[in-house]
């Protein structure tokens, strides 16, 4: 059977991801993947705008991605933009310019669709079982929460409280001050009331974190054990006690010392502080002993859909 090649671009608020894949009947193989800290929300997200410098970084990265895609002779390109673009007053112009410059059609997805695609990515990773889990993806602009299991989504919602927004609102000192943590926690309590009600209704017993911050947290955890994460593995376990130990470090160290933590990467060093505060808050609502961390998120959700389409197309052509 001839495989289908495709490229998926996830234009997140903090990071742009490219993954190029070959799609078969019921699996996919990654040809190449790359992530670049474009930080499209920097300097403008709090004013609902894409700053000219951020736009410059975005175009530079998209040109690089386009060259790689052309090098693989891929014609099927699926690009998605999330919180920073959907909320920006100049978001529509930005998307139009991308089409004109690079011939890439960007789908600006709403929060509910983003949550659904993240769920499909997490499900593809094998992180879910029969139990009801709370899933979370901490982006730069928004945070998606999903309650469900390997069969279905029971509840989902996107909240515009992502890492860049929390940084802009609360993280003024380095290391972050106890008072700033207190203010951030009060803010989360106010913003996440509907999540607290949903947790009360559906009573999830597992917690799954998708990609991004959770990738870095597990990198730090594995480095502390002097172990390497297996490249072929999509799901990792992070004991709650180990997370709390890492979080204590992140909240008390200066930036240059956080950068020295084995497993830390520069693109996460700022946002991981407020993200850890958010995870600590969620652990009060869903008390688990172990956090499940999924390597897969939105872009793999897009691949899961392409795999479904590929299977349908093959069925029709038989």
**The dihedral formed by the CA atoms of 189, 194, 198 and 204, expressed in degrees to the nearest 10:** -40
Question: Is the separation of the CB atoms in 127 and 290 below 8 Å?
Answer: no
Determine the average pLDDT of the residues in 272-298: 97
Q: How many whole angstroms separate alpha carbon 100 and alpha carbon 111?
A: 26
Percent of the chain with pLDDT over 70: 96
Q: Report helix, strand or coil for 148.
A: strand
CA-closest candidate to residue 232, choices 114, 125, 92, 98: 125
Summarised one tens digit per residue, pLDDT across range 6-58 is 999 999 999 999 999 999 877 899 999 999 999 999 998 989 999 999 999 99
| Secondary structure percentages of the chain, helix, strand, coil, to 5 | 50, 20, 30
Pairing state of beta strands 4-11 and 77-81? parallel
Q: How many whole angstroms separate alpha carbon 34 and alpha carbon 307?
A: 21
What are the structure tokens assigned to 305, written together?
A: 């859909």
The DSSP string of 220-238 is HHHHHTT----TT--EEEE
Helices (H), 126-211: 163-170, 178-191, 193-202
The pLDDT score that the predictor gives to residue 295 is 95
Summarised one tens digit per residue, pLDDT across range 134-174 is 999 999 999 999 999 999 999 999 999 999 999 999 999 99
Q: Which of 312 and 73 is assigned the larger pLDDT?
A: 73
Q: Is the peptide bond before 175 cis (omega within 30 degrees of 0)?
A: yes
**What are residue 94's phi and psi, to 5 degrees?**
-60, -45
Question: Is 0.85 surpassed by the pTM of this model?
Answer: yes
Summarised one tens digit per residue, pLDDT across range 204-261 is 999 999 999 999 999 999 999 999 999 889 999 999 999 999 999 999 999 999 999 9
Per-residue confidence at 318, pLDDT binned at 50, 70, 90? very low
Residues listed for the chain: 318
Determine the average pLDDT of the residues in 268-274: 96
Determine the average pLDDT of the residues in 91-108: 98
**Average pLDDT along the chain:** 94
The pLDDT score that the predictor gives to residue 76 is 95
């Amino acid at each position: 059977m001839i495989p289908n090649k495709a490229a998926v671009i996830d234009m997140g608020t903090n990071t742009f991801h490219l993954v190029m894949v070959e799609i078969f009947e019921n699996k996919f193989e990654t040809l190449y993947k790359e992530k670049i800290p474009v930080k499209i929300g920097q300097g403008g997200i709090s004013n609902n705008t894409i700053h000219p410098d951020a736009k410059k970084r975005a175009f530079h990265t998209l040109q690089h991605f386009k060259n790689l895609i052309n090098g693989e002779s891929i014609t099927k390109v699926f690009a998605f933009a999330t919180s920073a673009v959907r909320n920006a007053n100049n978001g529509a112009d930005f998307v139009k310019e991308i089409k004109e410059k690079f011939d890439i059609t960007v789908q600006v997805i709403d929060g509910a669709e983003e949550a659904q695609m993240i769920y499909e990515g997490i499900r593809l990773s094998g992180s879910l079982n029969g139990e009801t889990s709370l899933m979370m993806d901490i982006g730069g602009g928004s945070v998606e929460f999903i309650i469900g299991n390997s069969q279905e989504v029971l509840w989902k919602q996107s909240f515009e409280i992502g890492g860049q927004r929390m940084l802009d609102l609360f993280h003024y000192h380095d290391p972050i001050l106890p008072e700033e943590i207190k203010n951030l926690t009060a803010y989360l309590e106010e913003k996440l009331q509907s999540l607290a009600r949903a947790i009360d209704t559906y009573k999830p017993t597992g917690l799954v974190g998708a990609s991004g911050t959770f990738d870095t947290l597990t990198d730090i955890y594995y480095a502390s054990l002097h172990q390497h994460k297996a490249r072929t593995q999509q799901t990792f376990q992070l004991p709650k006690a180990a997370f709390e130990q890492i979080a204590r470090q992140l909240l008390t160290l200066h930036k240059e010392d956080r950068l020295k933590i084995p497993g830390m990467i520069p693109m996460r060093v700022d946002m991981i502080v407020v993200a850890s505060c958010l995870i600590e808050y969620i652990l009060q609502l869903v008390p688990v002993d172990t956090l499940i961390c999924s390597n897969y998120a939105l872009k793999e959700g897009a691949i899961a859909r392409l795999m479904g389409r590929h299977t349908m197309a093959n069925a029709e052509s038989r």
